Every structure is written in structure tokens, then in C-alpha cells.
Chain A
Amino acid sequence: MSISVSMNVNGKAVTQACPANTTLVDLLREKLQLTGTHVGCDTSQCGACTVHMNGRAIKACTILAAQCEGAEITTIEGLGDADNLHPMQEAFRECHGLQCGFCTPGMIMSAVDLVNREASLDETIIREGLEGNICRCTGYHNIVRAVETAARKMRN
């Protein structure tokens, strides 16, 4: 079944025709060419596909595009660009919070939601808050440092 879905992606209104079984991440990557959102496991475990839907972090591999009708979607491309990095992106660069970089877009989207949600952060809260994101380079220490650094900047 072909359907038409309309949503707002990174501030732009988008209407796309797609099969009903299209996931959000496939719509973003294949139809909108927003390939910053990655597909790691495709089983809602690794978090590489994390985007924001109406301000909340979700796994874009485990939601149909159809379920996002009318929603506000923000992907890593909507967070900042090369000339104007978001404080979280800046902090990942400063703190060497990435190695191969595959998990990074999802980590950053989760981390931004975490900072927005939690009134105060410590290492335990950050580690628990990022449980839905897996880094197979295992570079977690610097990721935690990056989130701590960004949180300070985002709150100033």
C-alpha cells in the first residue's frame, strides 16, 4: 500500500509518498537523503538511528514513517552545520568523543535530549541516560566528558 506522509523535518515541511511499511529512518535516508542518521542494528538496540520527534529522542528504525504524520522531526543535520556546530557537536570534537564516528549522530541526539530533560547531570545520570546508544569502539569515557562539557555550555 502506498501512502502519503507529511511532517516537518529540520524546520522544513515535507510530503512524501512511500510504501506503508517504510520506517522513519528509511524515509530520512532513502527519500530525503539525510544520511547523517545511521542504521546500526535495525532492532532498536544500538541507537545509531536516534532522532527527535516532537522534542523527544526516539529510535527512527522502530517507528513507521506513517506514525510521524504531522510530527516535528529533528535529525543531526538539523542540529547544526559545519560552520555553526551545536554545543554538543562542538564538545564531542573538543573531547574526542568519537573514534570511528558511526554511533556519533545517535549519541549526540540522545545527549541533547538528556541535557534538555534532566535538571542536573552527573556521570551516573549520563551513563544511564545513554544506555540506548552503543559505541562499538567503546569510547564511552570521552563521550561522557563531552556530554558534561556540552551541558555546561548549553546552560550558560
Chain B
Amino acid sequence: MYDFNYHKPSSIDEAIQLFTDLEDAVYLAGGHTLLPSLKLRLAAPTDVIDLAGIPGLNGIDYSGDDLKVGALTPHDDVSTSPVVQSVIPALASLAGGIGDAQVRNRGTIGGSVANSDPAADYPAAVLGLGAQLVTNQRTLNADEFFTGMFETALEEGELLKEIRFPKPEAAAYVKYPNPASRYATVGVFMTKTSEGVRVAITGAAPSVFRATDMEAALNADFSEAALDGISLDADMMNEDLHASAEYRAHLCVVMAKRAISQI
């Protein structure tokens, strides 16, 4: 990796000011996407701004209506938290299935969500649960947050602070993991709420998306059989050496049925 200048601000305001003033800066959370990208020279920023010195960005709180998870909370904290396990067990289970133990000790929810990797797990939970994303300047709905492959509605320098998950009536996450990386070849996060069913799919397409045909079918009849006539368009699916577009389209329905069976 190329050399860079390293900064460790102690407040959000200081981090934003640094980002604004510096030539080509990036934020560093857990670093489990950024550092491999720097090593491959896919990214070559002049400055790295480490967010770990900012208090208040790491933690889990369920004192109000929503389950609040700070952006710098590592996956292992989410997966082993008795609070998360009791309020949204599917979220704890998803976090416990990311990468491996060492990765879960360092990788953060905010880093994963802001990166919007098409095969990452957390975007499925954020969109499936209809979470709210609190930044230094506004609150975004999950439905408007993920805009494409590695693209989000975050503006240049905007900092994700916290994710607020509403408690669902029931939820399940089922993924078909890549056997080497544990990234989702296809992952389906299914949620039952008082306003209906939400189905978010990651891994399959350039960005996490809601399967609206499935949602309509399941709102009429919440059963595996309700998905029998549903097929997703292979033209909108990813294709790589691990799975063809047609296979991914097929897996979406299979994983969705498995998620239903867990609810």
C-alpha cells in the first residue's frame, strides 16, 4: 500500500473538518475492506482519518423504541449482545455469520453499511428491517440509502453515526455463503412487521434490493407455497465464477422459502 498521512480526530466535527480540508481523504472504521483495498492499490488516498478516537460511536442501546447500534460497533459485539439476541435475534445471527471470528472482532456495522458491498450481509438487515441511518447531518431511511454497487446516499464526507432498527414482529436471515469468504452468494432477510412483509436480498444483484413481488405474494399468504410462482429476472443478477445469474435468481426464491420456514 502507498503511504498516507494518518489522523485520529477526537470528535465528529474534527473528523468532518479534516475530510473537508484534506486533498483526498478516507474514513477508517474497522478497516477490513479499506486496508485490503489499499494493499491492492484499488484505493490510494492521501490521508486516512481513523474514527476510533471519537467517543459515542460504539455501543448498543435499547432504551427507546428502536434498537440503536453505533456505527463503530464490531460484528462480534452485535452477535454476542444479549440485548440484540433478545430484541432482534435474526440480526445477532446475521452478525455471527460474517467472515470469521477475527474479522468479527474488528469489522464494524457502519463500515459494512457505508461500503455497500453487493455481497455484504448487513445491508440486507438494514433494508429488510427498514432501519434508519443517522449521519452527522440527517437521518436517512434504508429505502433511500443503498443506491448501487458500493454506492450509498451518503454525500462526500458525510459520516454515518448510528443505525436504528425497529423491532419487528418476526425476522429471519438465511444466506447461501461463499464457502471460502462467507460473503453472501445470496442472502435473504425476511421481516414481518405490522405494516406487512419486507424481503431484502443481498449478494444477488449490484446492490441490496427489496423483492417486491415476493412481498406482495407473502402479504396475501405468508407461506412457502406463495412463492411457487415467483421468479426473479436473471438479467438483473450478478454473475461470477461462483454462481451464474440464473443460479442466483433461483437461489433468491430458495433462500426466501428457508427464511419463511424459520419464522
Chain A residues at the B interface, C-beta cutoff of 8 Å:
1, 3, 19-21, 23, 42-45, 47, 50, 53, 56-59, 62-64, 66-67, 69, 110, 113-114, 129-133
Which residues from B are CB-within-8-Å of A45? 180-181
Is the CB–CB distance between B99 and A63 below 8 Å? no
Complex CA–CA separation, A21 to B37 (angstroms): 13
- In the bound complex, CA of A84 to CA of B76 (Å): 32
- The stretch of B4-12, B17-25, B81-89, B210-218 that contacts the partner chain: B4-12
- Set A44, A50, A56: member contacting B32, Cβ < 8 A: A44
Per the bound structure, the CA–CA distance linking A44 and B107 in Å amounts to 11
B102 touches A50 (CB 8 A): yes
Query: Footprint of A on B, CB under 8 Å?
Result: 1-6, 8, 28, 31-32, 35-36, 38-39, 48, 50, 52, 76, 99-103, 105-106, 180-182
- Asked whether A57 lies within 8 Å of B102 as measured between CB atoms, the reply is yes
Instruction: Name the residue among B8, B32, B105 with the largest chain A CB count within 10 angstroms.
Output: B105
What residues of chain B lie closer than 8 Å to A56, measured between beta carbons?
76, 105
Partner of A132, one of B5, B52, B102: B102
Q: Give 12 A-B pairs besides A1-B6, A57-B105, A114-B101 with Cβ atoms closer than 8 angstroms.
A: A21-B2, A21-B4, A44-B36, A44-B102, A50-B102, A58-B102, A58-B105, A59-B103, A63-B106, A64-B50, A66-B50, A132-B102
- Bound Cα distance from A44 to B101, whole angstroms: 11
**What are 24 A-B interface contacts by the 8 Å CB criterion?**
A1-B4, A3-B6, A19-B3, A20-B3, A20-B4, A20-B5, A20-B6, A21-B2, A21-B38, A44-B35, A45-B180, A47-B100, A57-B101, A59-B103, A62-B35, A62-B36, A64-B48, A66-B50, A67-B28, A110-B102, A130-B101, A131-B100, A132-B99, A132-B100
